[in-house]
Structure 1
């Protein structure tokens, strides 16, 4: 019995050392990225019950894909990108059997995001154009339909300016170093790992890449900052209120996030 107890304790100790070693390695050296995000990009849990215990609060990373060129304004698009067969092969996917979508495995890739940059400015411009189009339609023919569309597009524009996420997906790659070199001079770039899966559309013989989820989807808030968040409820998705907190996040050598600071934002 004593023998098994010693073995169990040894395994537990070894596991803890591996975990702590990984945390230490992630924090070593210069961060791969450091951004000050807000409630727009880091969302509260859906229910308070998820953070009433003394385990801290976990915020989910809220990111987007830009609207397609020439397409109508859509604040949150499907997380699927158009891609060629050659590009998918470069990413490391085996596409010998095009039709076998169900069994094709997901693959962890490096994803590049732009924070609060040109992509977000472009979305604001599209939302503004969408609103102006609705206003023109209402002025030309005022009825319940055009009135509703004008109201909805105005609300969409307000959300784009005040509450929608400003973290936009740019591209994916199997090579982290090439991405790091390409975006080395841009301070608003984040490179992290995420799971993706290829998809083949037999009807038009096109290839697509589904961006399934980030490898690390949530950021744990240390207990020292939880008082700021503990009384807040997750806002309604239709609200256009400005964010109530900002979080400075650092990503280390393992591309894992850790909170550096959290500040309450006064309206």
Structure 2
């Protein structure tokens, strides 16, 4: 019996060692060579853990990637939004879904399918500029109406706050395209400092109104949506607290790289205290 236990124990240890070696080899291969993408993100695009700083102990720190897209009505002043909360982007229409390999012949069943594709995330580019323009247009309309009653006054205040939020706090990282060929997407978006290519799941959606069928799609979180801050870099976050970040009295930057397997890692952390967030 003891011999069997020893064999089982040795086998278990060997399996753990083999799995760890496999994982480390994958990490090393992902990070070998020049990064496929390398973006400098801030607290606008990276969310700290909910309990960060509450207990006085930093421990491990994982940041969540915050990204957005434009709703289908591109004229809507509120159409920039966080992709984690719902509807698909305007550009993810029937033609794009077919390009991604979806069979839309049977509209009733199309929503059941899903597949992993490559998604382009654009930092502080044209998509964000359009979001700023929409927020400004909303404020301009509210100013034109004036504030003769409470409803108009509330609308004006809301538009002012929305523009301020878009300018100073909202994520500037937008999903702008998707495809099956990462190399082709990189040719279309060659700047590796402003456009990251990530792996994410797309699921079609079907809407039928007045017997008219419209196809759209939802993008799930990237295959790696949370990124661990290396232990050697965690000291840079000392003194940064959530209250200061939320109020804009503190900020941070993190250099994030994506490798051969389109998996991200953090290469540098730079806190900025006493600054306006952004």
Global fold match (TM > 0.5): yes
Q: Show the counterpart of 1:191.
A: 197
The 10-residue stretch of structure 1 (202-211 or 48-57) with the greater mean CA deviation from structure 2: 48-57
Deviation digits for residues 115-171 of structure 1 (CA, Å, limit 9, x no counterpart): 011221221121111112112212xx5221111111111111111111100001111
Aligned: 1:73 with 2:78: yes
Given candidates 32, 36, 40, the residue that maps to 1:28 is 32
State the distance in 1 between where 2:219 and 2:18 align.
34
Q: Show the counterpart of 2:149.
A: 143
Higher relative contact order (CA 8 A, sep 6+): 1
Q: Show the counterpart of 1:100.
A: 109
Summarize the Cα distance change of 1:54–1:130 in structure 2 as closer, same or farther, 3 Å threshold. closer
The residue correspondences of 1:55-134 to structure 2 (distance < 5 A) are 55-67=59-71, 68-76=73-81, 78-81=86-89, 83-100=92-109, 104-134=112-142
Q: Show the counterpart of 1:256.
A: 263
Aligned residues: 263
The residue correspondences of 1:213-252 to structure 2 (distance < 5 A) are 213-229=221-237, 232-234=240-242, 241=248, 244-252=251-259
Query: Any idea what SS the aligned residue of 2:109 has?
Result: coil
Structure 2 unaligned residues grouped into runs of 5+: none
TM-score (norm 1): 0.88
Structure 1 unaligned residues grouped into runs of 5+: none
Query: Any idea what SS the aligned residue of 1:29 has?
Result: coil
The 10-residue stretch of structure 1 (36-45 or 202-211) with the greater mean CA deviation from structure 2: 202-211
Offset at 1:225?
2.9
The 10-residue stretch of structure 1 (25-34 or 128-137) with the greater mean CA deviation from structure 2: 128-137
